[in-house]
Amino acid sequence: MTKVIGLTGGIGSGKTTIASYFKELGVPVYIADDGGKNVMQTQEVIDKIKSTFGKGIFDNEVLNRGKLAEIVFKDKEELAKLNAIVHPAVKRDFENWLEQYKNFEYVIYEAAILFESGRYKECDVVITVTAPEEVRIERVMQRDNSTRKQVLNRMKMQWNDEKRISKSNFVINNNNLKIAKEEVVKILKILNIKQNQS
């Protein structure tokens, strides 16, 4: 039975970089954000988003993700409505993806809101990636051309590191990439030892 390693961390923590390194080491990786983007192009999800948030967030029938983000990252209730549409679709997408990798010992399920969505309960192991808050803010501002306020609004919608770490099996501090990669190798060694003992 393939074990699912949940990989999470706050916005700008560099969890996607860490996920890529797991992939380099031969572990299949599912990026929930990419899965979300894919399912948001399906007619079923588009129809639900349109009926929930209105036609105003569509430009010529194409979802304007920026307009949607403006709504949901300012209001927890609106975000909850979007998550109720997208999360079940992503779960189905992941289950279909997992079928292709059922002969692997481990797969990575990388998600920013692994805990907030409750998906961590379906993981065998959870790894949280951390980085200092200022580093995270700078990374996101550069990556997304966001303002500091926009980044802080998104951070407020997520759990803080302390809360994440309390429910995690492993923690990777991603302030120094070289050291962070060494942590990935250590974790895989520990998991392989446990696998061989079970």
Pick out the residues of the known binding site for ATP: 12-17
Q: List the beta bridge partners of residue 30.
A: 109
Could you list the beta-strand ranges (E) of the chain: 3-9, 29-31, 58-59, 62-63, 106-110, 125-130, 170-173
**Helix (H) or strand (E) segment spanning residue 198:** none
Binding residues: 12-17
Say how far apart CA 2 and CA 109 lie, in whole Å: 12
Pair 134, 32: CB distance under 8 Å: no
